[in-house]
Amino acid sequence: MLKTLHRRFFDRSVHEVAPELIGATLLIGGVGGRIVELEAYHHTDPAAHSFGGETERNAVMFGPGGFAYVYRSYGIHWCLNFVCEPAGSASAVLIRAIEPLEGLAKMRRRRGVDDARMLCSGPGKLGEALGVTRDKHNGLPLDRLPFQLFARDEMAEIATGPRIGITKAADLPWRYGLKGSKFLSKPFARHHVE
């Protein structure tokens, strides 16, 4: 039996929360699966959207932990973050990849592809497969429908590495993944096992 994660789970450092979320189950409207990859963004980090201060776009990041922050990426994709740490610290984790487990047919329809490995292996793909938009999900609490979050129920081997697609602070090893998963956006070069 899986244990539901309360939103207070997120009221801690992103670097504590991030590895614990690997292997957790995320469903939105009953569609989703196991989180296998994410990245941490701390407010002291030049790559974080909150680094330059509060704006209309990133306002949710400045609220309490346990809420969804959704932003438009490259004008095209919707990407999903979980806000972490107490209100005001403006830190979050970007959900980058999921192993699809529930609602496969719906994801295939939304994505227009058949291969399960192509459904959620990247932040933009994941947003499309789970039907995430800013209008519908930005600012919603993660412990109420349509969100469902369950703690992982078995040990997970965590890989870490540099984050993907950023130019600032690109050397920080703040990407976390489930070691050996076939559903990552990219393989990890070296793995560091927790």
- Rounded Cα distance between 101 and 153, Å, is 15
Which residues in 49-108 contact DNA (CB under 7 A)?
49-50, 52-53, 55-57, 61, 69, 71-77, 79, 81, 92, 94
Query: Using CB under 7 A, which of 3, 168, 182, 192 touches DNA?
Result: 168
Binding segment for DNA (CB under 7 A), chosen from 9-17, 28-36, 46-54, 137-145, is 46-54
Residue (of 38, 31, 8, 30) closest to 143 by Cα position: 8
Nearer CB in complex with DNA: 12/157: 12
How far, in Å, CA of 141 to CA of 60, rounded?
A: 11
Is residue 164 involved in binding DNA (CB under 7 A)?
yes
Q: How far is the CB of 110 from DNA (least distance, A)?
A: 11
* Contact of 166 with 134, CB cutoff 8 Å: no
Under rule CB under 7 A, how many of the chain's residues touch DNA? 39
HSE, side-chain direction, 13 A CA sphere, residue 158: 23
Q: Where are the alpha helices (DSSP H) in 79-122?
A: 104-111
Nearer to DNA, 1 or 105 (CB): 105
Closest alpha carbon to 48 in 155, 160, 166, 149: 166
| Positions that interact with DNA (CB under 7 A) | 39, 41, 47-50, 52-53, 55-57, 61, 69, 71-77, 79, 81, 92, 94, 111, 113, 118, 122-126, 163-168, 185
